[in-house]
């Protein structure tokens, strides 16, 4: 009789990641639902790999204190670039 090893169950969480390219060509990745969770990479792919590592570290820290987070209950609505005038008028 062959004994089968029991499969380990993995927890899977979903996170929305924002990636922007800054003025120097660096890709910056952040996770809005995990405050302070951001990283960068020289390429898009490197930023993705780096943010995966950061998310795993953050999840481990949150798991230790019993606070798990998952974006699957939220819905992405969109992104809008806004142009804001903030200069002061010389008129009082």
CATH 3.30.160.250 holds for 18-69: yes
Please report the pLDDT score of residue 53 as a whole number. Answer: 96
- Per-residue confidence at 28, pLDDT binned at 50, 70, 90? very high
Please report the pLDDT score of residue 80 as a whole number. Answer: 84
Residue that wins the pLDDT comparison between 1 and 30: 30
Please report the pLDDT score of residue 76 as a whole number. Answer: 77
Please report the pLDDT score of residue 70 as a whole number. Answer: 67
Name the pTM for this structure: 0.68
- The candidate with the shortest Cα–Cα distance to 58, out of 77, 44, 38, 29, is 38
């Amino acid at each position: 009789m062959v004994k089968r090893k029991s499969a380990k169950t993995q927890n899977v969480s979903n996170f929305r990641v924002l990636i922007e390219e800054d003025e120097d060509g660096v890709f910056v990745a952040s996770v809005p639902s995990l405050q302070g969770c951001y990283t960068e990479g020289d390429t898009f792919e490197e930023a993705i790999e780096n943010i995966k590592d950061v998310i795993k570290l953050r999840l481990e820290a949150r798991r230790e204190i019993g606070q798990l987070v998952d974006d699957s209950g939220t819905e992405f609505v969109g992104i809008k670039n806004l142009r804001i005038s903030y200069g002061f008028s010389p008129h009082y």
